[in-house]
Amino acid sequence: MHPSLLQDAGCPKEIPHNEKLLSLKYESLDYDNSENQLFLEEERRMSFLGFKCLEISRWVICGLIGFLTGLIACCIDIAVENLAGVKYFVVKQNIEKFTEVGGLSISLILWAVLNAAFVMVGAIIVAFFEPGAAGSGIPQIKCYLNGVKIPRVVRLKTLVVKVCGVICSVAGGLAVGKEGPMIHSGAVVAAGVSQGRSTSLKKDFKIFEYFRRDTEKRDFVSAGAAAGVSAAFGAPVGGVLFSLEEGASFWNQMLTWRIFFASMISTFTLNFFLSIYNKKPGDLSSPGLINFGRFESDVSGLLGALFNILNYWLTIFRIRYVHRPCLQVMEAMLVGAVTATVSFAMIYFSNDCQPLGPDQSEDYPLQLFCADGEYNSMATAFFNTPERSVRSLFHNPPGSYNPLTLSLFTLTYFFLACWTYGLTVSAGVFIPSLLIGAAWGRLFGILLASITPDGSVSVGGYMTSLWGYMTSLWGGIVRMTLSLTVIMVEATGNVTYGLPIMLVLLTAKIVGDYFVEGLYDIHIKLQSVPFLHLEAPATSHWLTAREVMSAPVTCFNRIEKVGTIVDVLSNTSTNHNGFPVVVPVAASDDMGKVCGLILRSQLIVLLKHKVFVELARSRLTQRKLQLKDFRDAYPRFPPIQSIHVSQDERECMMDLTEFMNPTPYTVPQETSLPRVFKLFRALGLRHLVVVDSENRVVGLVTRKDLARYHLGKHGLEEMQLAQT
Amino acid sequence: MHPSLLQDAGCPKEIPHNEKLLSLKYESLDYDNSENQLFLEEERRMSFLGFKCLEISRWVICGLIGFLTGLIACCIDIAVENLAGVKYFVVKQNIEKFTEVGGLSISLILWAVLNAAFVMVGAIIVAFFEPGAAGSGIPQIKCYLNGVKIPRVVRLKTLVVKVCGVICSVAGGLAVGKEGPMIHSGAVVAAGVSQGRSTSLKKDFKIFEYFRRDTEKRDFVSAGAAAGVSAAFGAPVGGVLFSLEEGASFWNQMLTWRIFFASMISTFTLNFFLSIYNKKPGDLSSPGLINFGRFESDVSGLLGALFNILNYWLTIFRIRYVHRPCLQVMEAMLVGAVTATVSFAMIYFSNDCQPLGPDQSEDYPLQLFCADGEYNSMATAFFNTPERSVRSLFHNPPGSYNPLTLSLFTLTYFFLACWTYGLTVSAGVFIPSLLIGAAWGRLFGILLASITPDGSVSVGGYMTSLWGYMTSLWGGIVRMTLSLTVIMVEATGNVTYGLPIMLVLLTAKIVGDYFVEGLYDIHIKLQSVPFLHLEAPATSHWLTAREVMSAPVTCFNRIEKVGTIVDVLSNTSTNHNGFPVVVPVAASDDMGKVCGLILRSQLIVLLKHKVFVELARSRLTQRKLQLKDFRDAYPRFPPIQSIHVSQDERECMMDLTEFMNPTPYTVPQETSLPRVFKLFRALGLRHLVVVDSENRVVGLVTRKDLARYHLGKHGLEEMQLAQT
């Protein structure tokens, strides 16, 4: 999603920028516990009380996550408000000074420079210190919850850069929101708090050690993302749904939509017939909405698709040509300056003056060339943080804006927002799309009023259509489902619009999906992330595990020579992460029978602690390794190169029995792809061993083997693997 | 959950009424497709367009489900209103007549007889025609979505009886609601519509044949339940959540709660600090609620637990002594008459007169002994359908009720509702618990007002506490989670109370769970349903598949003698539903290697169509069986007794290769119980084959093997199996 993510190792020669490629650099998270002997022993040793304590500490951690996320959101809010306040105050003073004496170009330059300066700071810290903090962070969190380990996405440094970055970009007047970064922040907080230590700060509090594994961490990260949504939109239930939609392995989105559809029809039918029975036909809560849903949200779906396509091309351009940090910073500054210039020009050439009423809610009303007691209406939209502009557009009485202002604003802001998303700054797309939607909604409301015979539209219908527009554009861009409705309902505090909002979202999604995927999905694809959707492609019953799996597989014996293990792990050309452990079949040079699965990370820890069986001596000399050793090393296991194994040690043996997962999930090789997919996805697997009828290893299915297949225009397509 | 459910085969001698027993009469649904050759061939033959058509027909079906469910809800609403209207009109006339001339006992008798008559009709159709329609139906739907096949729960007959039954019980003045039955109705509609035929009416529309299997049907039933919730409460999003909470295999309820907790804390923290920053500390949306949540919802949790315990004893009593249909009808009539009598006595002895204002919203204000222009306040609570009583309690201005009225009402209604739930009538517990909560909330509000120094409580706080009470008692009784919050928010149309409502529910749940389980879970347990919770008991790592599984397993060979199959299927002592298919291991009398799994239902269809291989002749003579034959027989497969197999045919062979599922999920015998459980639950399995390292069958894990283990007061407990 972020071009900068690709900068990991300098500037790779071949950058995957094609959605037909799958990158191999992303590893999977292991949502399936490795139930080895150590783990089982610990679980069996633990009393019922022990489990209760664990349960309580989970609640405590969730409380902490919520608290810290709220605090961070609060800091961002306050910082943005103050910085933007200072900026607009300075610029306003300047404009007022020069309006009379002439020479407004100085004001323009001041504004542009201020913007560019803020944006520069924001872009520099992102581009040079932590490229992972770029963008909204929502695609990354989506991937993380899907089970893909995006490098450095939940680190403390990312959090710091993200928070500072978003403050700078919003204060810098970019067409961005701060909601996405808040969600990302919540996730980082969760990943940190739940581990009871900070690897970056080298501080271990020696608590919550039980939670140091992917399974538990992912659960907490989903809580963190929910807390972020909750802080960003004031929508706790929406937050939960967001996390579940993205995180729950078995949440079937299509099914959810269908269920919702049935629910809506049911409520509607009931209300319709009851209203007829009560002799007030048409007295539904919002009658005109069915029409609205049919037509205008089609348009929103189209607009959203247009936004996504433009942004898609832009992103490809960026991946190809704007991948140096300094270029990225310069682009961001350019956008900042252009935003200021365009805004200024808009305000300057607009002659839409509105009286400054006593109920004036503008923070920085610009008089400019208007008469005394009036203000420039265009300035309420442009000379403000996007969030406040939304509020103005929504709350100002009808007639505050003339159609020309609105249409110019909508058009300009659409392209600005589209250009801005994907810049190397920390920023979200929610508020801009809401803003465009709101402006467009107002515009359409005015047009509608001028067409209708009596020249007026009911306030209720007008407001609803505003909500509808705001949501539908957002929906058209991001294509989220149930959670979006609930977030909108909670954010607006008005449940009445829930039904129309959902209808609008549904239409926008269907129309938009016809042309192009959602914005987040586009960015995920462009990064070649092996993202697993809920189900295998419909027409993939042709494929079986035999065709899908990777083979041959590197296997280890139960008792394996250290040298062999080191060699396999050091082989950068294969770079496998999981190895079946086998029992050799007597009198045969075939593959052995599978008896376990061991992970690279486990082997690394074993090698680091030199858990070798000196064949000659008794086993008693072996240092007894604890689960704690594995947990201490989690999640940043050292690379194999950093572990020194002497020539003597290479001849030693290692007994893997105790450490391997003795009951890995296996499937026969005739299993169909949808079946393999279901198992993999439902259990959150990282490796699935494929066996023959004799229980011998014939292959291994990993995430990239499954993510390779997708449904194209002409049926099933297979993606290529990229090595970057 | 319904004593009447046990009446299946007359009156069984040994009735399981102990939650330590597991009944064997409940079969599992198969959420895992049997991917046999026929199925794969069909899937592979289907084009991309074919899958699109299927997708569209799924939407059409969901639309139909919503429409029909809404229509049914509408019918129930109208019928109840009219019947109750007639009843109350007649009784009111009568009371008015006799108030002056004396002899009100005649009115009492009239009222009681009318009630008893309605209830009698409702109870008779339930007890004699369709015992499965008793109660709210929510526990049955919960079980169905969990994967348990409750006999006759989604039949047309059940729907008809349910609808008529609930109309009678509400019109009969029982302390019941019509919401639960609406949810059940939605589920039945879904099960019917999605199959494109009615087995009861012997009408096959020859459409939607693809959906004639458990997997698809269960998905549609969850849509139907959602549509039911939506129609009952006007809460489409709440409906979706209800279905997902109950239906989604991988919805982790504890995790959901924790995520929600984190979200809430986050919003709260943000608001708190921002309010300090804005120098308006304490200006949260609802300040006093934290206290409210702490204390009063404890009490609600306790009250809910008390309700559940009382009802638990009552249900055990009913299972033991009131299991004849005629007794059940008599009990229902008794309750109907007693409800009328108690209500009458309450109204008679109350002297709480309130002026009849112009904004009077009462439908049947009773003047009784009040002065002209006044009405009896107790009557607004008792002389009305429960739903309207809730509305009165909620909307009447403060001061409409005196404390004595309210406390008497709360107390009486609590016991009436508790007695009523579990009667052999079609009825729900939602409205009664809301009613008690509302009355109690009003009472507490008055008490609070009399204690506070200035003698007044803010209206906002008062209303919130009302909502809080209403919800908390409901929450204390049924212990549902997220969906309840959303339903309440949607039903009230006010999102502001969302946060406090959730807080209250959380507390009520924690307090209540300390004493006893939720009402629905109690009833599920009392029916000895093998219900699978989300996770295996925490301390069950001790157990492995070897200890849990059923062994020895009856296996079939790929080509098996018809006589053997018939004998195995006819053996009523084992009554297995799934059989591993094995390849014999040469030179060994051990179990063979597993190569497939075949279901009883599939074998029955094969036997019915006499798909025998005449060994001597060529295979070509064999009638080619289609997937359609299996679909036509679904879901009511004939019993083995109804299939005649001649002595000659017994000597024939059957080739199972084409029909068995060739890739059943298997686990090694060392797999721990939690791991088995996870696999079973996440994939919605019915049979899980346990194999040794040579891939030989050693056992079979089914639902009852897993449901047997639960966490008691003293750690892990094992339930006994009951044969009924």
Which helix (DSSP H) or strand (DSSP E) does residue A49 occupy? helix A48-101
Predicted confidence at residue A461, as pLDDT, reads 53
Instruction: State whether residue B70 sits within 8 Å of chain A by CB.
Output: yes
Asked if residue B436 lies in contact with residue B414, where contact means CB atoms within 8 angstroms, the answer is yes
Query: Which of B55, B70, B711 lies at the smallest CB-CB distance from A268?
Result: B70
Q: Is B646 helix (H, G, I), strand (E, B) or coil?
A: coil
The domains located in chain B, with CATH, are 3-247 (1.10.3080.10), 253-323+335-526 (1.10.3080.10), 540-722 (3.10.580.10)
Distance from CA of B181 to the nearest CA of A (A): 15
Alpha-carbon span A46 to B674, nearest angstrom: 15
Predicted confidence at residue B11, as pLDDT, reads 38
Alpha helices per DSSP H over B516-616: 519-526, 545-548, 562-570, 600-608
Please answer yes or no on whether A489 and B495 come within 8 Å at the CB atom. yes
Asked if residue B528 lies in contact with residue B21, where contact means CB atoms within 8 angstroms, the answer is yes
Mutate which: A77, A178, A270, vs B, most B CBs within 10 A: A270
Alpha-carbon span B658 to B676, nearest angstrom: 28
* Sequence letter at residue B657: T
Q: How confident is the model at residue A164 (pLDDT cuts 50, 70, 90)?
A: very high
Please answer yes or no on whether B265 and A239 come within 8 Å at the CB atom. no
Helices A459-478, A519-526: axis angle to 10 degrees equals: 10
User: Which residues of chain B are modeled with pLDDT < 50?
Assistant: 1-16, 283-295, 455-457, 460, 615-616
Instruction: State whether residue B263 sits within 8 Å of chain A by CB.
Output: yes
- Listed in sequence order, the residues at least 6 apart from B86 whose beta carbon sits closer than 8 Å to its beta carbon are none
Please answer yes or no on whether A679 and B683 come within 8 Å at the CB atom. yes
Instruction: State whether residue A35 sits within 8 Å of chain B by CB.
Output: yes
Please answer yes or no on whether B259 and A63 come within 8 Å at the CB atom. no
For chain A, the average pLDDT equals 80
Query: Which of B224, B270, B672 lies at the smallest CB-CB distance from A40?
Result: B672
- Listed in sequence order, the residues at least 6 apart from B426 whose beta carbon sits closer than 8 Å to its beta carbon are B122, B126, B133, B134, B135, B137, B161, B162, B163, B164, B165, B166, B168, B169, B181
Query: Which of A227, A258, A542 lies at the smallest CB-CB distance from B58?
Result: A258
Q: Is the dihedral of CA A379, A382, A388, A392 positive or negative?
A: positive
Alpha-carbon span A256 to A235, nearest angstrom: 20
Lowest-confidence pick of A298-302, A506-510, B634-638? A298-302
In A, which residues are within 8 Å of B243 by CB distance?
A: 259
Alpha-carbon span B420 to A316, nearest angstrom: 67
Distance from CA of A453 to the nearest CA of B (A): 33
Instruction: State whether residue B228 sits within 8 Å of chain A by CB.
Output: yes
Query: Which of B66, B255, B675 lies at the smallest CB-CB distance from A266?
Result: B66
Instruction: State whether residue A210 sits within 8 Å of chain B by CB.
Output: no
| pLDDT one-digit tens code per residue, A188-233 | 999 999 988 888 888 888 888 888 888 888 888 988 998 998 888 8
Alpha-carbon span A84 to B239, nearest angstrom: 43
**CB-neighbour burial class of residue B45 (10 A; exposed 0-12, middle 13-18, buried 19+):** exposed
Please answer yes or no on whether B489 and A237 come within 8 Å at the CB atom. yes
Q: Report the range out of A109-123, A246-260, A357-371, B579-593 with the highest average pLDDT.
A: A109-123
CA distances from A285 to A268, A288, A458 (A): 10, 10, 14
| Closest chain B residue to A539, measured at CA | B48
Convert A51-64 to b/e letters by CB count within 10 Å (16 or more is b).
eeeeeebbeebbbb
Predicted confidence at residue B14, as pLDDT, reads 43
Distance from CA of A277 to the nearest CA of B (A): 8
Instruction: State whether residue B264 sits within 8 Å of chain A by CB.
Output: yes
| Closest chain B residue to A220, measured at CA | B259
Please answer yes or no on whether A261 and B59 come within 8 Å at the CB atom. yes
Distance from CA of A59 to the nearest CA of B (A): 6
Which comes out higher in pLDDT, residue B364 or A584? Answer: A584
Phi, psi of A542 (to 5 degrees): -65, -30
Alpha-carbon span A393 to A439, nearest angstrom: 7
- How do B21-23 and A666-668 pair as beta strands? unpaired
| Closest chain B residue to A31, measured at CA | B678
Instruction: State whether residue A66 sits within 8 Å of chain B by CB.
Output: yes
Predicted confidence at residue B208, as pLDDT, reads 87
DSSP-derived secondary structure letter, B251? -
Which helix (DSSP H) or strand (DSSP E) does residue A697 occupy? strand A697-702
Predicted confidence at residue A289, as pLDDT, reads 36
Predicted confidence at residue A117, as pLDDT, reads 93
Lowest-confidence pick of A558-572, A607-621, B227-241? A607-621
| CB neighbourhood size of A135 (10 A) | 32
Distance from CA of A230 to the nearest CA of B (A): 5
In A, which residues are within 8 Å of B244 by CB distance?
A: 244, 251, 256, 259
Binding-face residues of A in 588-607 toward B, CB within 8 A: 593, 595
Distance from CA of A408 to the nearest CA of B (A): 35
Phi, psi of B688 (to 5 degrees): -130, 120
| Closest chain A residue to B255, measured at CA | A219
**Assign residue A575 a region: left if phi > 0, alpha if psi is -120 to 50, beta otherwise?**
left
Distance from CA of A676 to the nearest CA of B (A): 10
Asked if pLDDT for residue A434 goes beyond 50, the answer is yes
Please answer yes or no on whether B541 and A222 come within 8 Å at the CB atom. no
Binding-face residues of B in 656-685 toward A, CB within 8 A: 662-663, 665-668, 670-672, 675, 678-679, 682-683
Alpha-carbon span B692 to A663, nearest angstrom: 11
Q: What angle do CA A490, A493, A496 make, to 5 degrees?
A: 95
Please answer yes or no on whether B675 and A35 come within 8 Å at the CB atom. yes
Which comes out higher in pLDDT, residue B384 or A342? Answer: A342
In B, which residues are within 8 Å of A243 by CB distance?
A: 259
Question: What is the total residue count of chain B?
Answer: 724
Q: Is the dihedral of CA A105, A110, A111, A116 positive or negative?
A: positive
Instruction: State whether residue B35 sits within 8 Å of chain A by CB.
Output: yes
Identify which of B268, B295, B270, B256 has the alpha carbon closest to the alpha carbon of residue B485: B256
Query: Which of B47, B73, B682 lies at the smallest CB-CB distance from A682?
Result: B682
Query: Which of B277, B499, B683 lies at the smallest CB-CB distance from A78?
Result: B277
Please answer yes or no on whether B267 and A486 come within 8 Å at the CB atom. no
Interchain CB contacts (distance < 8 Å): A and B: 343
| CB neighbourhood size of B67 (10 A) | 20
Mean pLDDT calculated for residue range A334-347: 88
HEC secondary structure over B338-400 = HHHHHHHHHHHHCCCEEECCCCCCCCCCCCCCCCCCEEEHHHHHHCCCHHHHHHHHHHCCCCC
Mutate which: B52, B78, B266, B534, vs A, most A CBs within 10 A: B266
User: Could you tell me how far CA B345 lies from the centroid of its own chain?
Assistant: 35
Asked if residue A237 lies in contact with residue B484, where contact means CB atoms within 8 angstroms, the answer is no
HEC secondary structure over B76-133 = HHHHHHHHHHHHHHHHHHHHHHHHHHCCHHHHHHHHHHHHHHHHHHHHHHHHHHCHHH
Predicted confidence at residue B581, as pLDDT, reads 92
| CB neighbourhood size of A552 (10 A) | 10
Alpha-carbon span A383 to A168, nearest angstrom: 17
In A, which residues are within 8 Å of B47 by CB distance?
A: 539
B578-583 β-sheet, strand order: B556-557, B578-583, B593-599
Asked if residue B110 lies in contact with residue B94, where contact means CB atoms within 8 angstroms, the answer is yes
- Listed in sequence order, the residues at least 6 apart from B5 whose beta carbon sits closer than 8 Å to its beta carbon are B131, B132, B134, B150, B151, B527
Distance from CA of A572 to the nearest CA of B (A): 32
**Assign residue A572 a region: left if phi > 0, alpha if psi is -120 to 50, beta otherwise?**
alpha
- Listed in sequence order, the residues at least 6 apart from A77 whose beta carbon sits closer than 8 Å to its beta carbon are A178, B270, B274
Binding-face residues of A in 185-204 toward B, CB within 8 A: 186, 190
Predicted confidence at residue A398, as pLDDT, reads 66
* Sequence letter at residue B707: A
* Sequence letter at residue A409: F
DSSP-derived secondary structure letter, A93? H
Predicted confidence at residue B285, as pLDDT, reads 45
